[in-house]
Amino acid sequence: MSPKPLDVHGSFDFTTDMNVLITGSSGQIGTNLALAMMARGDRVIGVDCRRNSWTDKIETVQADLVTCGVDRLPKPDGLNLVVHFAANAKVFDLVTDPQRAMDNISSLFTVLNYCRIHRLPIIFASSREVYGDIHRHITHETSADFVVAESPYSASKIAGEALIYSFAQCYELPFLVFRFSNVYGRYDCDIERMERVIPLFIDRIARDQPIVVFGREKVLDFTYVDDAVAGVLLGADALVSGRVMRETINLACGQGNSLVDVVNIIALALGKKPQVRYEPSRVGEVTRYVADITKARTLLSYEPRTPLSEGLVKAVEWTKSFRKL
Ligand SMILES: NC(=O)c1ccc[n+]([C@@H]2O[C@H](COP(=O)([O-])OP(=O)(O)OC[C@H]3O[C@@H](n4cnc5c(N)ncnc54)[C@H](O)[C@@H]3O)[C@@H](O)[C@H]2O)c1
């Protein structure tokens, strides 16, 4: 398939009717986003290499983006946005198996080619990992310095951003890059697949099992999933209508909390006394990050509503409603 000829400013049909393809639609943020978009009347089609284990409401094409090629992706008829969330998203897994970082780059390349051929704007899920472990007090978008790549996962997001910027440059592709940070909440407790710290702590503390905190000193920016999704929705509307594009934006809570805070709030919400052992941070892990979210506020009127103390209580309640603890 060859791309339509370049016609820089006339080739994108900016509109507000949303018809979106979401990759990684069986994952945590993808499931939340797809359901939120469908609830407000948008048409959503998902792509993921796994079936969705949370809901059967999202129409999903099952395909591995590393190998499938653009022709296996859904027909672009009527689509006006692609949200690319598919990735191997667990930092330490990619330290042990760096091929999974390369797969992230290949997946994005497939999706970018699809967007280039069909002239579709793209939202890309990047990460605070692109900043490395730099210990700045507050992290602003311009402070990314790519020689500080902390892990193969960081490198895959840095490479991903570079590919996006190059496609924007050479093919005038409209994009928004969102740098997420520790998103937690609904649809994240599939611990067998993906051992994330917050669902893991909720599960173990609830069962009176010991937990290990890697990095007592870590201060991170934990984002409740509804805030992350609200930010993406604002971005999607702004991008599809042509109001905001070619921007890289931190999407987080904008507050730093330690893992000790996380443990204590979860234990309080569960009415348990946690058994905690502390170990040093593991290779490749970021130990300090607090996002500057001024840009999201300014460009998108984004306003996070859920501080950690409230978000963790909601996460505990949701986990209890979802499965017996
Ligand atoms: N959740 C966070 O805290 C966080 C933080 C920073 C960045 N991100 C990024 O946001 C995006 C979404 O994160 P999430 O938390 O929903 O992750 P997730 O692991 O829950 O979901 C990712 C989905 O992508 C799918 N996928 C992976 N490789 C694929 C491939 N080759 N082909 C098709 N599907 C594939 C997986 O099956 C999974 O369902 C990811 O790109 C992640 O790197 C997430």
Does position 6 have pLDDT exceeding 60, yes or no?
no
- Phi and psi (nearest 5°) for 288? -145, 125
30 lines ligand 1 (CB under 6 A): yes
User: What's the one-letter identity of residue 46?
Assistant: G
Under 8 Å between Cβ of 91 and 285: yes
Question: Measured between alpha carbons, how far is residue 133 from residues 72, 218, 320 in Å?
Answer: 38, 10, 34
Which residue, chain included where needed, has tokens 């193969």?
A: 152
pLDDT confidence of residue 2: 38
Q: Which long-range contacts (CB under 8 A, 24 or more apart) does 244-248 make?
A: 244/176, 244/299, 244/300, 245/121, 245/174, 245/175, 245/176, 246/168, 246/174, 246/175, 246/176, 247/176, 247/177, 247/295, 247/299, 248/126, 248/141, 248/161, 248/176, 248/177, 248/179
Residue 168 tokens, joined: 């924007």
| Angstrom distance (rounded) from CA 251 to CA 235 | 10
Question: Measured between alpha carbons, how far is residue 12 from residues 118, 300, 312 in Å?
Answer: 10, 21, 41
pLDDT confidence of residue 312: 98
Cα of 154 from ligand 1 centre, angstroms: 14
| Angstrom distance (rounded) from CA 165 to CA 246 | 8
User: What's the one-letter identity of residue 119?
Assistant: R
Atom number, ligand 1, closest to the C-alpha of residue 157: 43
Cα of 175 from ligand 1 centre, angstroms: 18
Does position 101 have pLDDT exceeding 60, yes or no?
yes
pTM of the model: 0.93
pLDDT confidence of residue 22: 98
Does position 109 have pLDDT exceeding 90, yes or no?
yes
Q: Of the given ranges (7-16, 77-86, 125-134, 170-179), which has the lowest mean pLDDT?
A: 7-16
127 lines ligand 1 (CB under 6 A): yes
Question: Measured between alpha carbons, how far is residue 29 from residues 33, 44, 200, 209, 288 in Å?
Answer: 6, 14, 17, 28, 23
Of the candidate CATH numbers 3.40.50.720, 3.30.590.20, 3.40.50.360, 3.40.50.2300, the domain formed by 19-182+223-251 belongs to 3.40.50.720
Output the CATH code of domain 184-221+254-320: 3.90.25.10
Cα of 88 from ligand 1 centre, angstroms: 6
| Angstrom distance (rounded) from CA 137 to CA 214 | 21
Cα of 287 from ligand 1 centre, angstroms: 21
pLDDT band, residue 4 (cuts 50/70/90): very low
Q: Of the given ranges (164-168, 179-183, 189-193), which has the lowest mean pLDDT?
A: 189-193
Residue of 285, 286, 262, 282 whose CA lies nearest to 274: 262
Condensed to tens digits (0 to 9), the pLDDT of residues 214-247 reads 998 899 999 999 999 999 999 999 999 999 999 9
Does position 135 have pLDDT exceeding 80, yes or no?
no
Tally of CA atoms within 13 A in the half-sphere of 322 that contains its CB: 18
Q: Where are the beta strands (DSSP E) in 49-112?
A: 60-62, 81-84
User: What's the one-letter identity of residue 52?
Assistant: N
Cα of 79 from ligand 1 centre, angstroms: 22
Q: Where are the beta strands (DSSP E) in 147-255?
A: 175-180, 183-184, 211-214, 219-220, 223-224, 247-251
Give me the chain's average pLDDT, please: 91
Condensed to tens digits (0 to 9), the pLDDT of residues 282-314 reads 887 888 899 999 999 999 999 999 999 999 999
* Percent of the chain topping pLDDT 90: 78
Question: Measured between alpha carbons, how far is residue 43 from residues 27, 153, 268, 289 in Å?
Answer: 18, 31, 40, 35
| Angstrom distance (rounded) from CA 172 to CA 180 | 24
pLDDT confidence of residue 115: 98
161 lines ligand 1 (CB under 6 A): no
Q: Where in the chain is the domain with CATH 3.90.25.10?
A: 184-221+254-320
* Percent of the chain topping pLDDT 70: 93
Q: Where in the chain is the domain with CATH 3.40.50.720?
A: 19-182+223-251
pLDDT confidence of residue 297: 98
Q: What is the mean pLDDT of residues 189-211?
A: 90
pLDDT band, residue 137 (cuts 50/70/90): low
Q: Which residue, by CA, sits nearest to atom 18 of ligand 1?
A: 27
Residue 121 tokens, joined: 């704007």
Handedness of CA 259, 261, 264, 270 (dihedral sign): negative
Q: What is the mean pLDDT of residues 35-44?
A: 96
